[in-house]
Amino acid sequence: MERLRPQRVIEVLDHTFRVYRANFLTFVALVAVISVPLNLISYLVQSAESRSEVFITTTDTFGNTTTEFNDSAFTGSIVVLLVSVVAGFLQIVVVNAVITQIASENLLGRQRSVIEALGDVAGRLLPLGLALVLLGIVAGIGFFFFGVIGLLCLLPLLGLPMVLYFSLVAYFFLVPVMVLERVSFGQGMSRAMALGKARFWQTFGFAVGVALITTVANFALTVVGALLSGAAGAGLEDLTQTNPVSTALNTLVSVLIAPVLPIGLTLMYYDTRMRVEGLDLSLQLLPEAMARPAALPSPKLPLSFATSKDMLNILCLTLGFIGLLIAYFAFIFLLIGILAL
């Protein structure tokens, strides 16, 4: 297949934005359909919380104060919060799955609409959702454990890079594997980790590159929007103030940026499988209309925990983590020294 060939990370990054441009309206419409209601709900939640208090303090004529629990405000906040969590989870699962499918088909020379892609991935949404929940729970427990104990002494903080490493390894290709392949829940989790380990630093560097680009774009769009809305003249705090203008601006930025990482990880998934499993050669043996990962059996990759390569990767992340901590505190002390002059 002419379109498929291994690429350098910088080429994958460039290819990511070419796929985005080729399907711009499709991706933006997909994200907007879910993001706009989600951000509207978030705005209503924050507005309601600013107008109502869970605990109401009153003072009588004698100066005595009493505090009462406002159960209606508390119940309303919980209900809307749950709706926001569910909507956010659906956004993560559905949007990532559909974007992955569209990007995959585009790479293979085919075009899919949102409805067609949603039909393709409908049967994979539940396993994908369960996998993401499991990964989130395990990663959350790990970060909480090492983070809380790290508050008591510094040494356990060094366990955070280990949790970060295995979380990234498991997440990088989890969506492409669960969506594009026909694997069981356990096999999908195992394959995602094995593929994530195979080219960790390349994928990590790619993700960092995407994060830097999207962060700069996010900041630029926010500043432009703030200037247009007049918020910049009122002070930086208005950029994050909850109001209709800032909510609309944040929604626009999230809609434009959200598709980039799923597209890129899909292309990195193909690149990794081509290098590790010869996916490009296997797809060339299939009729063009059938050539997709789901039409091939998924190879069983050996998965071992705590190998020497893993330990080296964790050590590098730990050194980087320590370096960031040193740089952070050095910046804080420098800032304090400048302000003290």
Is the per-residue pLDDT at 18 higher than 90? Answer: yes
Give me the pLDDT at residue 203, please: 94
Predicted model pTM: 0.81
- Least confident range of 79-83, 166-170, 173-177, 257-261: 79-83
pLDDT digits (tens, 9 = 90+) for 184-240: 888 999 999 999 999 999 999 999 988 888 888 878 877 776 676 664 444 444 544
Over residues 139-163, the mean pLDDT reads 75
pLDDT score of 73 more than 70: no
What does the pLDDT read at residue 42? Answer: 66
What is the pLDDT of the chain when averaged over all its residues? 81
Across 19-33, 226-240, 303-317, least confident range: 226-240
pLDDT attached to residue 235: 46
- Give, for 113, the enclosing helix (H) or strand (E): none
CA-based Rg of the chain, rounded to a whole angstrom? 24
What does DSSP assign to residue 95? I
Q: How confident is the model at residue 234, as a pLDDT?
A: 46
Examine the pLDDT at 67 and tell me if it is beyond 70.
no
Instruction: Please report the pLDDT score of residue 53 as a whole number.
Output: 54
Tell me what pLDDT residue 288 has: 76
Q: Which residue has the higher pLDDT, 264 or 318?
A: 264
Q: Is the pLDDT of residue 301 over 60?
A: yes
Please report the DSSP string for 294-317 in residue order.
GGSPPPPPP--SS-HHHHHHHHHH
Mean pLDDT of 56-76: 57
Q: Tokens representing 132?
A: 């993401």
> What is the model's pLDDT at position 102?
95
Please state, for a pLDDT cut of 70, what percent of the chain lies above it.
77
- In this prediction, residue 176 carries a pLDDT of 96
Average pLDDT over residues 30-45: 76
Identify the pLDDT of residue 61.
59
Say which residue the tokens 């790290």 belong to. 150
The pLDDT of residue 134? 93
Higher pLDDT pick, 258 / 246: 258
Which of the residue ranges 56-60, 76-80, 81-85, 187-191 has the most confident prediction, judged by mean pLDDT?
A: 187-191
Domain residue ranges in the chain: 9-303, 313-341
3-class DSSP state of 56: strand
The two three-digit tokens of residue 26, written as one number: 């499709």
Burial 105-137 (b: 16+ CB within 10 A, else e): bbbbeeebebeebbebbeebbebbbebbeebee
Indicate if the pLDDT at residue 14 is higher than 60.
Answer: yes
Average pLDDT over residues 241-258: 73
> Looking at per-residue confidence, does 178 or 333 come out higher?
178
329 pLDDT band (50/70/90 cuts)? Answer: confident
Cα torsion for 265, 266, 267, 271, to the nearest 10°?
90
- The residue-averaged pLDDT of 312-327 equals 87
DSSP secondary structure code for residue 52 in this structure? -
Which residues have C-beta within 8 Å of that of residue 303, sequence separation ≥ 6?
190, 193, 194, 197
pLDDT over threshold 90, residue 268: yes
CA distances from 207 to 91, 143, 150, 169, 194 (A): 20, 20, 27, 12, 18
Which tokens hold the place of 309?
Answer: 């390569």
Q: Is 191 exposed, middle or buried (0-12, 13-18, 19+ CB in 10 A)?
A: buried
Amino acid symbol at 294: A
Backbone φ and ψ of 73, nearest 5°: -65, -40
pLDDT at 75: 64
Q: What token pair was written down for 158?
A: 């060094």
- Residue 57 C-beta-side C-alpha neighbours within 13 Å: 3
